[in-house]
Amino acid sequence: MALNTKPNIADPDRFYQSLIDCHRDLSEDQSQRVNSKLILLLSNHIGDEAVLKEAMAIACAESGA
Amino acid sequence: MLQTYEYPEFPYTQSDEQKNGVVKRHPAIIIGAGPIGLTTALDFAQQGIPVVVLDDNNTVSVGSRAVCYAKRPLEIWDRLGCGQRMIDKGVIWKIGKVFRQDDLVYQFDLLPEEDHKIPAFINLQQYYLEEYMIERCKDFGDRVDLRWKSKVISLRNEADHVVLQVETPDGVYQVEADYVVSCDGANSDTRKMLGLDFEGQFFQDRFLIADVVMKADFPAERWFWFDPPFHPNQSVLLHMQSDNVWRIDFQLGWDSDPEEEKKPEKVIPRLKAMLGEDTEFELEWVSVYQFACRQLNDFRCGRVFFAGDAAHQVSPFGARGANTGVQDIDNLAWKLKLVRDGKAPEALLDSYSEERVFAAADNLKHSTQSTDFITPKSKCSTFFRDAVLALAKEHEFARPLVNSGRLSMPTPYEKSSLNTPDEEAFAGKMQPGTNCADAPIRKDNQEGWFLNQIGERFSVVTFGDAPAIDTLDIDGIPCDILVVGKDFEDSKGRLTERYDGKNGTTYLIRPDQHVAARWRSFDKDKIATALNRATCRL
């Protein structure tokens, strides 16, 4: 299975809003904590290491790292 | 400070060669009489190789130091005749618990499998371990020549021997050896004398070790805390040792002053915060340490072999230091014996480095990963670590991510050039290059253990119908043939289960109790080819 980079979320605006909402009123550190947990939860759900590595590669390339 | 142990003082005696001024060539010289040097002495002696051991001190380890000894090294010491004594004196444990603040977030059991002779782990002060090995050396008489207060000050490889200068209270003398094993620890002078690179990662964090004598009701388990209320924002590790001595290890952080932290007036309040104001205890030993993760690229330099911390250094998380070093020697002794006897080529000695560099790299990887979890190096890394710990209590998926040190397990030589790959499928964890699993057996109406039937020589173990021959000699290398059900009984069926033993299943086992090859039928020619491959004679 390869990383799905085609649109896959039924209601993109609603998803995006809920992502922003869960950081509302949080400090930088609190947001980092939330994001760290989110990444771990979602990574475990995906499980497939090849897919996760593909996602990491794209994320790291775009950050310029 | 209280002393539960009286340190022996071994007598220095001037060697005959120094007295007479005659340069003598020895088959093997071992530098360092710590756990690895002493293991080398015992294994070489048991193989019939006389050894001289040079140590610059004249007592055992000062302080409890290594403490945790794993199943595989204990099996090796059992083969060398001193493992049981260590187990009898040590504290047997297998459960590890990890706490975050006051909450238990993760628990592991190191040996859920029944029917093994040797426990998963024991805790024992290093001075006992060394003392027992030194006493065991005496059983070999003149074959083990322990020379105390003998410091190697120079060393030089020649084509067919090594020349060493040794300093004693009587001055300096010269000595020669066919082979040298350097077991002189992380700061090995031997390594420096040969100008070898020992590069790696240094870690900034300091840790405080306190050995505390107390009557406490903690169980015999490994307890690890992240951010405990009694030592906020740092980690703490607790281990039970013999004689009511407890090892407590406090993470101190980057900017602590080691001399200041060692003072009892500084240590005692830390302990009181942890143990409670009313707990009575006494300090026995205190030390502050830092560590590095690094290894040599080659464990052989001419006729000098490196083993233990002299060859590879890891963080203490996971008890991978001494435990790995003992397995270095298990790998080296039989190879040196065959080469010395002219039965195998020098190339077999290079396989020591091939196999043990591979094992050291595996250890180093585990050790570095644990270190990155316990002492995160960046803010982001700290966030992830804390997220794992926060999720672990409620959510099962996060528990295997908690890394408070993955405890030492043998590294299979899965890619070794000495292995013969499987031709057919086998069930279970064993494969060419893994160390042999133990199992209970019955021999001559007595209960025993499989690992005590093999080792030091090549063995062929075969299941079911007995082959027509009962010994093999392959170009001068003898090989025992053991038939399960005839030479001993598989009393609980564990051997059959662990080796996937069907009628005809045959294993070729190396002298260090590792699988060299296996087949579904007994074939003399295949055994000979595999043995020749395992000794670099192909």
Least Cα separation, residue A3 to chain B (angstroms): 21
- The mean per-residue pLDDT over the stretch B448-471 comes to 95
Q: What is the pLDDT of residues B76-98, one digit of tens each?
A: 999 999 999 999 999 999 999 99
Which positions in chain A touch B388 (Cβ < 8 Å)? 40
Backbone CA torsion sign across B396, B398, B399, B400 = positive
CA distance B127 to B7: 8
Which positions in chain A touch B383 (Cβ < 8 Å)? 32-33, 35-36
Say which DSSP state B452 is in.
G
Angstrom distances, CA of residue B192 to CA of A7, B154, B350: 60, 10, 21
Angstrom distances, CA of residue B7 to CA of A65, B57, B299, B515: 55, 12, 33, 41
What's the pLDDT score for residue B520? 97
Domain boundary assignment for chain B: 16-88+123-197+294-349, 440-534
Would you call A37 an interface residue with chain B, using a CB distance cutoff of 8 Å?
yes
CB contact under 8 A, A36 and B397: no
- The mean per-residue pLDDT over the stretch B282-289 comes to 94
Token readout for B300 is 């052989």
Q: Are strands B103-109 and B51-54 parallel, antiparallel or unpaired?
A: unpaired
Least Cα separation, residue A27 to chain B (angstroms): 14
Task: Please report which confidence band the pLDDT of residue B373 belongs to, taking 50, 70 and 90 as the band edges.
Answer: very high
pLDDT at A62 over 70: no
Would you call A30 an interface residue with chain B, using a CB distance cutoff of 8 Å?
no
CA distance B385 to B403: 9
> Chain A to chain B, count of Cβ pairs less than 8 Å apart?
28
- The shortest CB-CB distance from A36 to any of B387, B395, B397 is to B387
Q: What is the pLDDT of residues B164-201, one digit of tens each?
A: 999 999 999 999 999 999 999 999 999 999 999 998 99
Q: Which string of b and e fits B175-210 if b means at least 16 CB within 10 Å?
A: bbbbbbbbbbbbebbbbebbebebeeeebebbbbbb
What's the pLDDT score for residue A63? 62
Would you call A44 an interface residue with chain B, using a CB distance cutoff of 8 Å?
yes
CB contact under 8 A, B391 and A32: no
Task: Please report which confidence band the pLDDT of residue B2 belongs to, taking 50, 70 and 90 as the band edges.
Answer: low
pLDDT at B509 over 90: yes
CA distance A13 to A8: 12
CB contact under 8 A, B380 and A44: no
Provide the CATH topology of domain B440-534.
Glutaredoxin (3.40.30)
What mean pLDDT, rounded, does chain B reach? 96
Say which DSSP state B7 is in.
P
Question: Considering only the top CATH level, what class is B16-88+123-197+294-349?
Answer: alpha beta
Strand partners, B517: B508
Which positions in chain B touch A40 (Cβ < 8 Å)? 384, 387-388, 391, 398, 401
CB contact under 8 A, A40 and B386: no
Which positions in chain B touch A39 (Cβ < 8 Å)? 384, 387
Which positions in chain A touch B387 (Cβ < 8 Å)? 33, 36-37, 39-40
CA distance A17 to A21: 6
Which positions in chain B touch A56 (Cβ < 8 Å)? none
pLDDT at B301 over 70: yes
CB contact under 8 A, A32 and B380: yes
Q: What is the ipTM of this complex?
A: 0.95
Least Cα separation, residue A42 to chain B (angstroms): 11
What's the pLDDT score for residue B282? 94
Strand partners, B427: none
What's the pLDDT score for residue B397? 97
Strand partners, B146: B53
Among chain B, residues having any CB pair with chain A shorter than 8 Å are 379-380, 383-384, 386-388, 390-391, 395, 397-398, 401
Token readout for B203 is 């870690």
Token readout for B150 is 């003998």
Would you call A41 an interface residue with chain B, using a CB distance cutoff of 8 Å?
yes
CB contact under 8 A, A37 and B401: no
CB contact under 8 A, B395 and A32: no
Least Cα separation, residue A40 to chain B (angstroms): 8
Which positions in chain B touch A37 (Cβ < 8 Å)? 387, 390-391
